[in-house]
A and B are shown apart, each in its own frame.
Chain A
Amino acid sequence: MQSFQEVILKLKHYWADRGCILQEPYDIEVGAGTMCPETFLRVLGPKPYRVAYVQPSRRPADGRYGDNPNRLYKHSQLQVILKPSPADVIEQYLGSLEAIGIDLKQHDIKFEEDNWEAPTLGAWGVGWQVMLDGLEITQFTYFQQCGGIDLDLVPAELTYGLERLCAFLQVKDSVYEVEWATGFSYGDVRYMDELQYSVYNFELADIPTLWKLFELHESEATRLLSLYDPKSAQKKRFPLLPTYDQVLKCSNLFNTLDSRGAISVTERVGVIQRVRRLAVGVAQAWVDQQQEASAAQGAQ
């Protein structure tokens, strides 16, 4: 039986062999691997890129105090970006499943339409949820737009739900029973996260404090964006990556406030718009900054 970490290692190896940079998880809370700069910013612009990383993805509203065998506050996504997507991308993807020991002549794979959209990121794409014997194991998306910008190259994004996939491989009815490494279950490693964050998100998070934090990060992002000058000769130095961090902070605070039931009807749409405006602002500035950078590189 392959442990959780062995599956991760094999998948990383598989994608490294196919030209992917292996990145470590981003160190700011995100709701999905898509939000990491390695995806959100890298898919923009004309430069090819391939990357794979495991991203702990936090969804405050999905927490269940560690009681539900299939639902998690923080689950692990293996995020693979192939930009541009190769013609045999599906074959490569199926090969990755075979690399972790799934015999696709004996298991049923279906690609069911599932289009993806992230309103807070101004991003959308078309694709499928990949079903393995009736279980959704991967979200497969051809990105079309990100930060409200049409993408020059169309990347394929593969997002593996690692907990589900491993529960499937190890024939476990509960995620918590999955063997993480020899002698350690997923529950041993993660149960406390699930319990404590559920308590915090649903019961103890202080709403006024979270709002205050949201506004602080928002105003910092806004302030920085207002300083970006596309005409500046020094614009390569401009800290867009730290600006984007502020946006990510806002996004996670929004999710936490939402799970706390603190966002009223009238506010909700407005807050999504506020985060989206920042994300779109960063994306546009990033494209501008990159154009300059690649032009400069070309001149050398």
Chain B
Amino acid sequence: MTLPFLLEIGTEEIPDWMIPGALESLHLLFEKTGIPHESVRLDATPRRLVLRAEGLPGRQPDTEERLVGPAKSAPAQAVAGFARKQGVRPEDLIVESTPKGEYYGFIKKVKGRAIKEILAESLPGMILKIYFPKSMYWTGKGGPQFIRPIRWLVALLGDDVVPFELAGVRSGALSAGHRRLGSPEIALTIDDYEQRLRDHYVILSAEERRDRIRGHFDGLHVKADPALLETLVYLTEYPTTISGGFDEQFLELPEEVLVTVMRHHQKYFSVEDASGKLAAKFVAVMNIESDPQGYVRSGNERVLRARFNDARFFWETDQKKKLADRLPDLAHITFQAKLGSYLEKTERVITKAQELGGDAAALRAAELCKCDLTTELVKEFTELQGVVGGLYAQVQGEPEPVWQAIYDHYKPESMEDAIPRNRSGRIVALADKLDTLTGCFGVGLIPTGSRDPFALRRAAQGVVKIIVEGKLEISLEKYLTDGALREFLGDRVRYYFKEIRGFKYDEVNACMAAGWSGLVDLEARLVRVQNLRSSPDFEPLAASFKRIKNILEQAKFTGAGMIDAGLLESGPEQELYEEYKKISGQPIEKVISRLRPKVDLFFDKVLVNAKDERVRQNRLTLLGTLLQEFSTIADFSEIVTTS
């Protein structure tokens, strides 16, 4: 007979974004206990982490333990002693023959322990091991740590409570309902658990809460926002949508500002009209069943009105001082203690934009791009940095390439995000990111593990994406002199081409080994190598190149000297040389099918290690020249061949 198991960890409100990870961690920890079970299901609301498993045995199976005692030849006293220790008579012992001779032994039957007992022992430790990015004390210094205080524990195996205590809380069969719509104490069984919660206004399944939100958009065109939806799913136990509106006059404010206020500050969904333009409406999600009096709607509308009024006030105040006039104020804003103010950063960005070949628009944008950090609107809505600068530059009559460059210069914010839309924007974005990277690496602020406070990974990723997708013929050589930065950028280049662009890792290694300071060139070479790979001659030739490389390395060949045609042996060596002369300077794609048989034949028939030193050197020179000729596109010896 098997039993179902239920564990509910009742807590105070857990930060929404940590919940999915906590469930994953809980699942892994449960599997690690080794308790057999058929299926596991995990659920959570802000106030509970729940694990349900089916098919647990009541007990562990009984096992046998073989104990070896004294040798058969041992004195009777020793045998009796061994038997006494096992609690049996000497005649109950068995005799076992081992390679070392015959020994007395005993088969001890170990009764399997009750699973309930094992659970009671392992659950407290398991619960406290659940991973959270940040945790707290609540019972006092040195007490247990968890993401938020644990307030109740339900642990049932079948009909029985699995008894244990954690942080002063005893496990039981009592859960808690919704904070105000439900009862603080709900008696339950495993069978009626989910229904009992539902009766007390807790929807346990995240999927159901998600559907409940999505299914009630009242026929409005709600802007899809999966991240916000997840936040709301894990911020509520009984989500109900309400729609509200705001004064149409606020639509005069930039859409970016309105959406940011609604999304980031109020956690509302934005609504579009039939033509796809922002409508003067929003959808909010509350954690109660209904709003019959309209209190919640009107409350939210008032908060939004106040926020929009603030935004409008900031927008108007900011217009009183042009972006260009704000430049000196940047001296008061720190970029990083050792790297100075944003004014100093701006100066460096201008210089870099110039070095990178930025035009007049790029230089103007570089000069103005950080000025919005002094505006009220950005102080209030920091996530709109760049965007606000761009909007102000537009209003203040800066030409389109300039304001767009300012607007876009933090892009791309992720691998999925687009790069800046015009060339000036790309140059400014690059200059800004390269300055941050070289600056931080220069003062030793190098990301380690998950610690990356200056988001240098994102910056480096942005550099790669902008150069490649913006087709910028820019050499990174200057930035690759610092060994740590070189390695860091190299990792990002590798990541980009492998994970985002789908090149094989050996293709990336091969092409990068032939240089990667020009990323557009690297991309072109990668495409060539990828295409070459379909040729039947490619892998064998790559294998030959690897062989050549090994031979040259073993011979410590320095690559000096010219090929002396007079020393070439007629036959395969001569033929390879003739072929080389014919194809030299041509792209490898055109000649691969002709070259491969010659190389194969050479290795088949010719001994590189000739007795005559001059002949040997000449052969090495021939191979070295050949390798060099085709290694400008990639180091083919890096290609992993199947043969």
Q: Tell me if B533 is interfacial: C-beta within 8 Å of chain A.
A: no
Assess whether A268 is in contact with B334, with CB atoms less than 8 Å apart: yes
**A177-235 at interface with B (beta carbon < 8 Å):** none
Picked from A68, A110, A135, the residue with its CB within 8 Å of the CB of B235 is A110
* Assembled-state Cα–Cα distance A106/B298 (Å): 12
- Let me know if B12 and A133 touch, CB within 8 A: no
Alpha-carbon distance A235/B168, docked complex (angstroms): 38
Contact with A along B293-311 (1 / 0, CB 8 A): 1011001101111100110
A263 to B148 CA separation, bound complex (whole angstroms): 38
Q: Are A94 and B180 in contact (CB under 8 A)?
A: yes
* Cα-based distance from A16 to B135 in the complex (angstroms): 31
CB-CB under 8 A from A135, the residues of chain B are 299, 302-303
Query: B179's contact among A94, A142, A261, by CB below 8 Å, is which?
Result: A94
CA distance A256 to B7 in the complex (A): 53
Given contacts A69-B309, A70-B310, A153-B140, contact A108 B288 (CB under 8 A): yes
Contact A133 B287 (CB under 8 A): no
Interface segment out of the listed A1-9, A84-92, A239-247: A84-92
Residue from the list B12, B184, B236 in contact with A110, Cβ < 8 A: B236
Task: State which of A94, A111, A133, A134 has its C-beta within 8 Å of the C-beta of B46.
Answer: A111
- Supposing A85-B138, A108-B286 touch, asked if A261 and B334 sit within 8 A by C-beta, the answer is no
In chain B, what residue has the closest Cβ to A136? B303
Q: Which of A32-40, A144-152, A283-291 contacts B (4 or more CB under 8 A)?
A: A144-152
User: CB within 8 A of A134: which of B141, B168, B303?
Assistant: B303
Q: Which residues of A contact B16 (CB under 8 A)?
A: 113
Would you call A104 an interface residue if the criterion is a C-beta within 8 Å of the partner chain's C-beta atoms? Answer: yes
Query: Is there an interface contact between B332 and A152, defined as CB atoms closer than 8 Å?
Result: no
User: Please, which residues of chain B bring their CB within 8 A of the CB of A280?
Assistant: none
Residues of A contacting B66 with CB < 8 Å?
A: none
A111-B13, A144-B136, A154-B137 are contacts. A133–B309 as well, Cβ < 8 Å? Answer: no
Known: A70-B306, A173-B305, A265-B341. Contact between A90 and B12, CB under 8 A? yes
- Kindly state whether residue A237 has any CB partner on chain B within 8 Å: no
Among candidates A109, A154, A265, A269, residue contacting B333 with C-beta atoms closer than 8 Å: A265
Residues of B within 8 A of A142 (CB): 136-138, 149
In the bound complex, CA of A71 to CA of B376 (Å): 13
Q: Give Cα A164–Cα B180 distance, bound, in whole angstroms.
A: 23
Across the interface, name the chain B residue whose C-beta is closest to A125.
B136
Q: A254 contacts the other chain (Cβ, under 8 Å)?
A: no
A91 to B12, CA, bound (A): 11
CB of B291 within 8 A of chain A?
yes
Q: State how many angstroms separate the Cβ of B201 from the closest Cβ of chain A.
A: 10
User: Which residues of B are found within 8 Å of A151, using beta-carbon distances?
Assistant: 137, 140-141
Say if the beta carbon of B641 comes within 8 Å of chain A.
no
| Best-surrounded residue of A142, A153, A264, A265 (most CB of chain B within 10 A) | A265
Q: Closest residue of chain A to B379, judged by CB? A: A61
A20 at the interface (CB under 8 A from B): no
How does the 8 Å CB contact mask read for B134-153 relative to A, with 1 for contact and 0 for none?
Answer: 10111111000000110100
Judge whether B331 is part of the interface by a CB distance below 8 angstroms.
yes
Contact B293 A106 (CB under 8 A): yes
In B297-336, the 8 Å CB interface with A consists of 299-300, 302-306, 309-310, 313, 331-334
Interface positions, chain A 80-109, Cβ under 8 Å from B, are 84-85, 87, 90-91, 94, 104-109
Chain A residue numbers with a CB within 8 Å of B13 are 111, 113, 128
B337 at the interface (CB under 8 A from A): yes
Residues of A within 8 A of B139 (CB): 84, 154
B295 touches A107 (CB 8 A): yes
The verdict on A106 contacting B287 (CB below 8 Å), with A94-B179, A112-B235, A173-B305 known, is no
| Chain B interface extent, by class | 35 or more
Q: Which residues of chain A are within 8 angstroms of B266 by Cβ–Cβ distance? A: 134
* Smallest CB separation, A123 vs chain B (Å): 14
| A106: nearest chain-B partner, CB-CB | B295
A68 in contact with B310 (CB, 8 Å): yes
A115 within 8 A of B: yes
Q: Find residues 167-219 in chain B having any chain A CB closer than 8 Å to their own CB.
A: 168, 179-181, 184
> Which residues from B are CB-within-8-Å of A268?
334
Flag if B293 contacts A173 (CB, 8 Å): no
> Which of the residues A69, A106, A126, A134 comes within 8 Å of B134, measured between beta carbons?
A126
Question: Judging by beta carbons under 8 Å apart, are A134 and B332 in contact?
Answer: no
- For the complex, what is the distance from the CA of A173 to the CA of B310, rounded to whole Å? 12
Taken together as a complex, chains A and B put the C-alpha atoms of A144 and B288 apart, in Å, by 32
Check A134 against B337 for contact (C-beta < 8 Å): no
Which chain A residues border B17 with CB–CB below 8 Å?
A: 113
Q: Which residues of B contact A144 (CB under 8 A)?
A: 136-137
Pick from A105, A115, A263: contact of B288, CB under 8 Å: A105
Interface residues of B in 12-60 (CB under 8 A from A): 12-13, 15-17, 46
- Judge whether A168 is part of the interface by a CB distance below 8 angstroms: yes
**Nearest residue, chain A, Cβ from B301:** A134
| Beta-carbon nearest neighbor of B138 in chain A | A154
Separation of A171 and B181 alpha carbons in the complex (Å): 25
CA distance A1 to B326 in the complex (A): 46
Residues of A within 8 A of B179 (CB): 90, 94, 104, 109
Known A-B contacts A132-B299, A133-B295, A173-B306; A109 and B180 likewise in contact (beta carbons under 8 Å): yes
Bound: A175/B556 CA distance, A: 83
Closest chain-A Cβ to B39's Cβ sits at a distance in Å of 32
A135 to B313, CA, bound (A): 19
Q: Is B633 an interface residue (CB 8 A)?
A: no
Given contacts A70-B310, A133-B296, contact A150 B141 (CB under 8 A): yes
- What's the Cα separation between A268 and B336 when bound, in Å? 12
Q: Which of A260-300 contact B (CB under 8 A)?
A: 261, 263-266, 268-269
Please state if B136 and A105 are interface contacts (CB–CB under 8 Å).
no
A106 to B294, alpha carbons, bound, how many Å? 9
B333 cross-chain contacts in A, Cβ below 8 A: 265
CB pair A269–B334 under 8 Å, yes or no, is: yes
Question: Nearest residue in A to B15 (C-beta to C-beta)?
Answer: A113
CB of A216 to closest CB in B, whole Å: 25
CB–CB A115/B138 < 8 A: no
In Å, the complex CA distance between A268 and B17 comes to: 33
In the bound complex, what is the Cα–Cα distance between A266 and B337 (angstroms)? 7
Q: Which residue of B lies closest to A128 (CB)?
A: B13
Report Cα–Cα, A219/B551, bound state, in Å. Answer: 75
Q: How far is A227 from B13 in the complex, measured between Cα atoms in Å?
A: 46
Q: State in angstroms the CA–CA spacing of A132 and B284 once bound together.
A: 13
CA distance A109 to B237 in the complex (A): 11
- For the complex, give the distance between the alpha carbons of A135 and B286 in Å: 12
Contact B287 A110 (CB under 8 A): yes
Q: Which of B92-140 contact A (CB under 8 A)?
A: 134, 136-140
Question: CA A99 – CA B334 in complex, angstroms?
Answer: 46
Contact between A265 and B296, CB atoms less than 8 A apart: no
Complex Cα spacing A91 to B293, Å: 24
- Which chain A residues lie closer than 8 Å to B292 at the CB level? 106
Cα distance A125–B136 in the bound complex, in angstroms: 8
A267, chain B: closest CB distance, angstroms:
10
Task: Give the chain A neighbours of B341 by CB distance below 8 A.
Answer: 265
The answer to whether the Cβ of B536 comes within 8 Å of any Cβ in the partner chain is: no
Residues of B with C-beta under 8 A to A104: 179-180
B24 CB to nearest chain A CB (Å): 19
* Alpha-carbon gap, A166 to B195, bound state (A): 39
Contacts of A173 in B (CB 8 A): 302, 305-306
Question: Which single member of A107, A152, A264 contacts B141 (CB below 8 Å)?
Answer: A152
Chain A residue contacts of B286, Cβ below 8 A: 108, 133
B357 at the interface (CB under 8 A from A): no
Cross-chain pairs A/B with CB under 8 angstroms, 5 sampled:
A69-B306, A113-B15, A126-B148, A134-B284, A266-B337
Known interface pairs A68-B310, A126-B134, A151-B137; 16 further A-B residue pairs with C-beta atoms within 8 A, sorted by A's residue number:
A94-B180, A106-B288, A106-B291, A106-B293, A108-B296, A109-B179, A110-B287, A113-B17, A133-B295, A134-B300, A135-B302, A135-B303, A154-B136, A261-B332, A264-B332, A269-B337
Pairs A-B, 4 closest by C-beta atoms: A133-B299, A113-B15, A108-B286, A111-B13
